[in-house]
């Protein structure tokens, strides 16, 4: 760690600013990748539940549709949370 700090102290202000911008962009991209993973997982869960819907009785279908709508809202909420972190 001390070698990293000594290297950073040798950089000019312009280089440090470029490094900071690059790290910020990487941070934003990592947050987007988390958003993509969360969205993908929720879509997979919803698809598996839709497949099961065709095999269930009417009452079970209503319960499953309720769960699907809750999952849909949770995925939207997770997207909003990640986007609010980005902004």
- Are 72 and 80 within 8 A, CB to CB? no
Reported as a single tens digit per residue, the pLDDT across 37-82 is 777 777 777 777 677 767 767 777 777 777 777 777 777 777 777 7
Pair of tokens at residue 30: 């990592």
* pLDDT band for position 2 (cuts 50, 70, 90): low
Mean pLDDT across 11-23:
73
Burial label for 3, CB within 10 Å (0-12, 13-18, 19+), is exposed
Q: Which letter, b or e, does each residue of 58-69 get, where b requires 16 or more Cβ atoms within 10 Å of its Cβ?
A: eeeeeeeeeebe
User: Kindly report the CA angle at 65 between 61 and 69, in degrees rounded to 5?
Assistant: 175
């Amino acid at each position: 760690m001390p070698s990293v700090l000594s290297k950073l102290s040798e950089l000019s202000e312009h280089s440090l600013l470029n490094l900071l911008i690059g790290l910020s962009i990487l941070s934003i991209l990592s947050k987007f990748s988390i958003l993509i993973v969360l969205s993908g997982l929720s879509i997979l869960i919803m698809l598996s539940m839709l497949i099961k819907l065709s095999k269930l009785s009417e009452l079970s279908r209503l319960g499953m549709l309720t769960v699907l709508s809750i999952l849909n809202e949770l995925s939207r909420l997770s997207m909003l949370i990640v986007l609010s972190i980005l902004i």
